[in-house]
């Protein structure tokens, strides 16, 4: 519990004053993109990233235009990554170009961090992104614009991964899937895990398509985790291969947020709502919260952020992998 409290305690600000000690002793694992003095650190104000985001590929939006000495000044004297862009546009509108739909801020076209033109294939997605930009007041908070960052990642592909690598990265999560890891005690938690997670695993194993031949995803209490048979992985890989590149980025994003491949499949197949999936992913935390109490500025904060990211990812996958045709008189397919 202390770790999660520390994780959210004034994350960026203190770190910037003490870069050396703060970086190691800091909050949460993983690289902190703000402190890497490269050109692509996110342009966010200090302390805005909230809880550590392992899917940080999608949330490193824009290039940094801060002079190097200002990184060394203490925060209250205007140092660190203080630059926050003000909202510089009045209207956001959508136009249709040849590659897809584009977003216009006033009269300027929106571009990705690598200066490519920002085009999306789906109108609904374009409207959602435009709404995100429109909802910014005074300063632009990039950490709230999840759909925009997902689109940027898909368009730019900053890590240069092709489809196979993406699929493999996502399938690797199955080995350490949250749902498959069970505890042995306390008893009530074991019961809870059994009642909540087992139905989802059963559904995943018996899904009519594509797991037609019955796949096995066991659950285990050992530290090594479940042993997933190779056939399951193959079936999963071939299933994921049927999605296009954009949808795969979204899927990988959701998997890294929820830490579970099975839950992501449930989301994509409309079996679970976002709230349910997030609840199942955080089952042990919810159990502890019920036992020991809820800390608003830590638990709720993390919960809302996880929900936001997961919802953005799920929506992104659905909008990128659908094709709507309205046929008047029944039949959609």
For the range 192-198, what are the long-range contacts, defined as Cβ-Cβ under 8 Å and sequence gap of 24 or more? 192/283, 192/287, 193/283, 193/284, 196/280, 196/283, 197/280, 197/283
Task: Name the residue nearer to other proteins (CB basis): 131 or 227.
Answer: 131
Single residue of 182, 207, 239, 271 touching other proteins by CB under 8 A: 271
Question: Should residue 319 be labelled a site residue for other proteins when binding is judged by CB under 8 A?
Answer: yes
Q: Is 324 exposed, middle or buried (0-12, 13-18, 19+ CB in 10 A)?
A: exposed
Residues 6+ positions from 193 with CB-CB distance below 8 Å = 182, 183, 283, 284
Question: Should residue 10 be labelled a site residue for other proteins when binding is judged by CB under 8 A?
Answer: yes
- Please state, in angstroms and rounded to a whole number, the distance separating the CA atoms of residues 297 and 113: 32
Question: Should residue 125 be labelled a site residue for other proteins when binding is judged by CB under 8 A?
Answer: no
Smallest separation, CB 307 to other proteins (Å)? 4
Question: Should residue 150 be labelled a site residue for other proteins when binding is judged by CB under 8 A?
Answer: no
Question: Should residue 272 be labelled a site residue for other proteins when binding is judged by CB under 8 A?
Answer: yes
**CB neighbourhood size of 37 (10 A):** 11
- Kindly state the tokens that stand for 47: 């302390």
Smallest separation, CB 56 to other proteins (Å)? 17
Cβ atoms of residues 48 and 143 within 8 Å: yes
Task: Name the residue nearer to other proteins (CB basis): 209 or 213.
Answer: 209
- Span near other proteins by CB under 8 A; candidates 123-131, 204-212, 214-222, 228-236: 123-131
Which residues contribute to the site for other proteins (CB under 8 A)? 8, 10-11, 13-14, 46-48, 50, 75-76, 93-94, 123-124, 127-128, 130-131, 134-135, 137, 141, 144, 146-147, 270-276, 296-297, 300-301, 304-305, 307-308, 311-312, 314-315, 318-319, 322, 326, 330, 332
């Amino acid at each position: 519990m202390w770790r999660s409290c520390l994780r959210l305690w004034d994350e960026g600000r203190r770190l910037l004053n003490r870069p050396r000690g703060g970086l190691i002793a800091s909050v949460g694992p993983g690289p902190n993109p703000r402190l890497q003095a490269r050109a692509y650190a996110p342009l966010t104000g200090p302390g805005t990233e909230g809880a550590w985001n392992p899917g940080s590929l999608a949330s490193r939006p824009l290039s940094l235009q801060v002079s190097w000495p200002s990184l060394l000044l203490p925060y209250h004297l205007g140092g660190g990554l203080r630059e926050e862009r003000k909202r510089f546009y009045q209207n956001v509108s959508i136009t249709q170009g040849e590659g897809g739909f584009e977003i216009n801020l006033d009269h300027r076209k929106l571009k990705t961090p690598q200066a490519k033109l920002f085009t999306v294939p789906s109108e609904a997605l374009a409207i959602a992104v435009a709404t995100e930009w429109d909802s910014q007041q005074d300063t632009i908070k990039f950490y709230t614009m999840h759909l925009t960052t997902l689109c940027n990642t898909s368009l730019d592909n900053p890590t240069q991964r092709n489809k196979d690598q993406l699929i493999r990265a996502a399938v690797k999560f199955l080995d350490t899937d949250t749902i498959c890891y069970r505890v042995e005690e306390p008893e009530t938690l074991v019961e809870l895990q059994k009642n909540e997670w087992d139905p989802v695993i059963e559904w995943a194993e018996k899904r009519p398509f594509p797991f037609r031949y019955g796949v096995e995803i066991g659950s285990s209490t050992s530290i090594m985790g479940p042993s997933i048979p190779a056939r399951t992985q193959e079936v999963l890989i071939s299933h994921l291969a049927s999605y296009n590149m954009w949808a795969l980025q979204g899927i990988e994003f959701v998997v890294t947020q929820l830490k579970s491949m099975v839950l992501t499949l449930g989301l994509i197949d409309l079996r679970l709502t976002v709230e349910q999936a997030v609840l199942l992913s955080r089952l042990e935390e919810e159990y502890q919260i019920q036992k020991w109490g809820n800390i608003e500025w830590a638990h709720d904060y993390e919960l809302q952020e996880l929900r936001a990211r997961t919802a953005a990812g799920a929506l992104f996958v659905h909008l990128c992998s659908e094709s709507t045709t309205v046929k008047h008189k029944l039949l959609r397919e």
